[in-house]
């Protein structure tokens, strides 16, 4: 009887404990984003109010979104080559990621049970800069690379830097199961992510996604969402 009671109490407490842990991770992530956001603003102040331009190349689209780190990391007290020990750039909920593949069989996602911020190809960061790109995603994607921050019309709505899944989208904080396949992409609709804005505030918001063949950052969302990628 005692064992049964303990099992019942444990079952009742588990969701509450999980909720507290989830909120704690989001708090750490929000603090990370605030510091990175401030570092980006300090960098821009020293460069005629201009945001980083990224490191766009024909070899890796990731450099469009991760190249900012090399430009501004000294403004948050980090120097030398990037490494997994840079905890400021590691979201504590970052424990998996997806690789998206389009081939002759269609569109699919591959679940990878590893932390994204531990990958050298991402410059050891859980966070991407809203750089935009002229050559990726098959469109002129909106973004802020090389733009004067004072020219942004809606700083409280415009994304500056966010968790990488916000650009895809899916969620580290509220992952959905079963794991989706190419035909189940609506499961990722309105995935929730931590996002920091040009005005400096950070929010846990839903990200709009209309098609599996285009990442969220390729277009601004429709009315009803709390953010935009473009500075206009």
Q: What is the 3-state secondary structure (H, E, C) of the chain?
A: CHHHHHHHHHHHHHHHHHHHHHHHHHHHHHHHHHHHHHHHHHHHHCCCCECCCCCCCCCCCHHHHHCHHHHHHHHHCCCCCCCCCCHHHCCCCCCCEEEEEEECCEEEEEEECCCHHHCHHHCCCCEEECCCECCCCCCCECCCCCCEHHHCCCCCCEEEEEEHHHHCCCCCCCCCCCCCCHHHHHHHCCEEEEEEECCCCEEEEEECCCCCCCCHHHCCCCCCCCCECCCC
Asked if residue 54 has pLDDT above 50, the reply is yes
pLDDT, tens only, 178-224: 555 555 556 678 899 999 999 999 999 999 987 666 778 888 999 99
pLDDT of 217 reads 84
Q: Are 206 and 192 in contact (CB under 8 A)?
A: yes
pLDDT, tens only, 66-107: 889 998 999 999 999 999 999 999 999 999 988 776 655 555
pTM metric for this prediction: 0.84
pLDDT, tens only, 108-122: 677 888 999 999 988
pLDDT of 137 reads 45
With a pLDDT cut of 70, the percent of the chain lying above it is: 73
What are the phi and psi torsion angles at 139 (to 5°)?
-155, 165
Asked if residue 175 has pLDDT above 60, the reply is yes
pLDDT of 4 reads 57
More confident residue, 19 or 58: 19
């Amino acid at each position: 009887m005692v064992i049964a009671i303990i099992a019942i109490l444990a079952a009742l407490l588990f969701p509450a404990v999980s909720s507290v842990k989830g909120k704690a991770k989001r708090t750490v992530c929000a603090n990370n984003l605030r510091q990175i956001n401030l570092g980006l603003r300090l960098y821009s102040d020293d460069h005629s109010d201009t945001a980083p331009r990224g490191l766009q190349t024909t070899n890796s689209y990731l450099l469009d979104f991760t190249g900012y780190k090399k430009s501004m990391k000294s403004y948050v007290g980090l120097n030398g080559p990037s490494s997994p020990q840079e905890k400021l750039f590691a979201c504590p909920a970052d424990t998996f990621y997806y690789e998206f593949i389009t081939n002759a069989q269609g569109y699919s996602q591959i679940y990878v049970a590893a932390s994204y911020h531990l990958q050298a190809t991402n410059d050891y960061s859980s966070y991407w800069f809203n750089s935009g790109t002229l050559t990726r995603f098959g469109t002129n994607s909106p973004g802020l690379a090389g733009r004067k921050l004072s020219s942004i019309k809606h700083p409280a709505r415009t994304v500056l830097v966010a968790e990488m899944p916000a650009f895809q989208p899916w969620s580290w904080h509220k992952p959905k199961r079963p794991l989706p396949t190419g035909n189940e992409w609506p499961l990722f609709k309105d995935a929730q992510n931590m996002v920091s804005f040009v005005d400096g505030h950070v929010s846990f918001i839903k990200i709009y996604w209309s098609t599996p063949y285009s990442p969220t950052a390729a277009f601004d969302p429709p009315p009803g969402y709390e953010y935009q990628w473009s500075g206009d």
